[in-house]
Each structure stands twice: as C-alpha cells, then as structure tokens.
Amino acid sequence: MARTTAALVRPTLGEISDLAQLGLAAAAAAIRNGDITSEAYTAALLQRAQVVADLNAFITIDEPTLLASAREADKARAAGTTAPLLGVPIGIKDSYLTKGLPTTLGLEGLANFLPYEDADAVLAIKDGGALVFGKNNLVEMSYGLTGHNARFGQVKNPHARDRVSGGSSSGSASSVAANIVPASLGGDTVGSIRVPASFCGVVGFKPTTGRWPRGGVAPISHTLDTTGVFARSVEDCALIDQVVTKESAAELSNGGYDLKGARLAFAPRQFLDLVDVEVEARFREVVRRLQDAGAEVVEVDLGDDFNVLVQTATWGIFAYETMGAISEFLRQHDLPTTFEEIYKGLKPQLHQAWGQIVLPGGAGATSAEAYQTALNASRPEIRRRLQRAFVEQGAQAILQPTTPCPAPLIQNQATVHIAGQEVSYLALANHTVSASSVGLPGISLPVGLSSSGLPIGLELDAPLGGDRALLNLASRVEVLWEA
C-alpha cells in the first residue's frame, strides 16, 4: 500500500466518482476553464486512491506536497497561466527519477532513496503544468510481465482482484483503469506498457524507440527501452505525446465510424498461432468491424521463421545489455547501490533468472557473437519483413491481439495456460515483442471483454516514426468500441 500522509477534506462519494472519471484532456480543460479547481480534483483522486488501495497500484503518494502543488496550480490559473496540463495529477512509474520523491525501482534497498533530479519525461510534463500524483508500483527493475513485487506487493487487476495486472508497468495500468489518475507514464522494453494496458483495459502507447526522452529512467536495454504512457483514450495519449515531444498537437479524426481509406494488415500465421479461443474470436470480430467501417484489411505472411527470429534476437539483446545499462545508470545518477547489491537482493525467481541470462557466463547468457548477430543481421531482417507489409501492401498499421490471452490468475503466474497449453509467462509478450525488436511505435486499445469480464486488447503497430499517423488511426479505430 502506498505511503501517504495527512488527512483530507473528504469530497462526497458522488463528487469523487464524477471527478475521478474525467479523462486527462477533459480534466485539463475543466481546470483551465475554471469549472473545477485542481485542489478539488486532486482531493477526489486521493480519496479514490484510498478506496482502491488494495490494488497496490502505488508505492508512494505524498499527499501534503501534492495538495500544496494543486493549490499553486489554482493560483497560477487565476494569474492567467494556460499550460496544457495545468493542475492535472499524473502517475509516474517508479523507475523514473523524481526530485525529492522516493524512487525505488521496485527494490527494498532503495525504499528511501530521494533523487536530486527529475527524469527528462517528468520534467516535460511538469513544464506542461502537470502534477506528480505519486510513484506507481512495478516489477523489480522492470523485469517481468505479471505485476508481482516481493517488497511492495502484487499489483491487482481492477477488473478482477484475483488476476494479474500485467507488467512491468503494472501500477501505472492498474491506477488508470481504476480511475485513480487519468494518465500515467510507463516504460516498455518488450511489452511492459502494452501487456498491462491489454490486461487492464486501458490505452497504452509505446512511441518509436528514442522519440521520447529516456534520461533518468532505470534501463534494461539501450537498444529496446522506450518511455510511454497509459490513459483511458487515444486523445489523452496524444496530449501527453504533444507535451513530452513539444511537437504540435496531433490531428485526431472526429469522423465517427468512417474508416474509408484506411489500409491495415494482419499476419494470422504469426500472431494467431497460439491464442485463446475467445481472443481469436474477438480479434476476427474486430477485423470484420473494421471492414464494415470501410477499412481494407489484408492478410500478410511474415515467414515461417519470423517468430523464432524475433524472439531469439530480442530476448538476447534484452538480457545481454541489462548489466551494462543498469551499472551505467547507477553511476550516472549517483544511486546509493551497485549492480551486485541489486542482484543479491532480488527475489529468488528473479535472482535465479539473472544468474542464468544476465550475468556473463550464465547458462543462458547471450554470447558477444550472438549479440552482434542479433543487432546486425536479425534486426535488419525483421525490419525488412515488417517494412514489406507497410510498403508492398500499403498498410498503415499491422494488427494483432495485444496479448494471447486475458489476464491470468495471480496464483498461476509463473506459467500460464494459453489455448490449452501450459507455457512460460514470457509468452504474454509474444505479440508485443515484434514492434519492440525494431523500435516500431505501437498502441494497445481495449476492444471488449471476455465471457468472464476480462479486457481484451488490440495492438496496432506503425512504421518507424509514424507515431502521429498511428495516433490518428487509433482514434478512428477506438470509436468502434466506445459506449
């Protein structure tokens, strides 16, 4: 449960519900227009956080400082400030450095570490007027896909408390889905934004790798790491994207259900080979609805060895770069620990995994030769095959189910059952890893619920640098599932 201090003037239950349901853009507009105050909005979100504290979505919330910041935002608004996110609290994954607010990276040994600087993306949203609501729970060192943290607790799924939230940006997704915050910054190396977005039924946006700043965020792989965002709509993701990149506002379509002119591709042999029956049925229904709305949807084949190529190259790069990336981050930002101390303090399962694949000489460690092959041969080949779908087929995006199954049970998260097979939990990233492998922008959209009420996600991946076009397309697709 998040560490909090100070009592609040309690809004009524009705006020909490109404205010907490506001999306990012709507809340920002309401504060700018004087319809609500930042202080009232922030107080309602803090009350909401207390109501659903059992989700373990936050590690730290500094209520007095947050409320004081909200009052300062209200003063700034009265003085004429019109920053795009003025007075809106946003969650921050606890892998981001936050000046004066504890940053744990999910580790016991850093529970009281206070950075002297903000991560670049945190600075960007603060410059845009946003408030840091608190630090979201996460998997230790962002190394996992289910949301388990031995020190700070399992992050739970708001749709079903016995289900995982996904990870590693677990608390970020859960807090947005539970209406604690309207948006949260997360991180994605092989799926750590899109997997929890799918499981929790929110929008998760992974920009083109390197497009968003990564400075001050605990890394795994300099080749694959990407900062990004969770929100409850594409519009809200686009607003954060505008603030972080300092680009002009993305042009989002308001054309209703019209998808004429959109050309999309999907690869059934690669992305439907191991998926739950309900997930495949929903995905095919998605394709039919896209076609009914005027989109052209074409089938492509990325090759018999595509999945093996992607998995081998990406996981190899992921593990090979971890030790060096973390060690450099610790030195650069003066964290009061070492790689060796972190390794020693990891939970048993993760300690064992690092011993096998992260430490040089481990039984499953990637050799320097295999690493170079992944970088210089496998990645260009993966990029060539995906680019062929974009260029030769004229596809604006490639579609697939974001995850091959809905959120698994917390008690069964070491291995999961997909389409009747018991497989490693790493299979939860089977679809997200392809975009990560070559840095494509990707977005996960909620497209309905399973028969047991669990969210199902649709992923759209676009060409490198096609982030703005992807957000526009996603806003058109999103309309098909809005209530």
Annotated active-site residue in 168, 169, 170, 434: 168
- Which of 69, 93, 198, 444 is the catalytic position? 93
Question: d(Cα 170, Cα 164) in Å, to the nearest integer?
Answer: 9
Nearest Cα neighbor of 157 from 198, 189, 105 is: 198
- Cα separation, 28 vs 88, in Å, equals 6
How many CB atoms neighbour CB 231 within 10 A?
Answer: 25
Q: Which of 199, 147, 158 is nearest to 455 (CA)?
A: 199
User: Any catalytic annotation for residue 93?
Assistant: yes
Alpha helices in 150-231, H assignment, sequence order? 170-177, 194-200
**DSSP conformation class of 479:** G
**Residues in contact with 421: Cβ distance below 8 Å, sequence separation at least 6, in sequence order:** 274
Structure tokens at 389: 């779908």
Q: Produce one character per residue of 331-345: b if its CB has 16 or more CB atoms within 10 Å, e if not.
A: eebebeeebeebbeb
The catalytically annotated residue of 95, 142, 192, 198 is 192
For residues 319 and 356, what is the distance between their CA atoms, to the nearest angstrom? 10
Residue 447 identity (one-letter amino acid): V
Contact 215, 119 (CB under 8 A): yes
Q: Which two three-digit tokens encode residue 200?
A: 């929790």
Name the DSSP letter for residue 363: T
Catalytic residues, which ones? 93, 168, 192
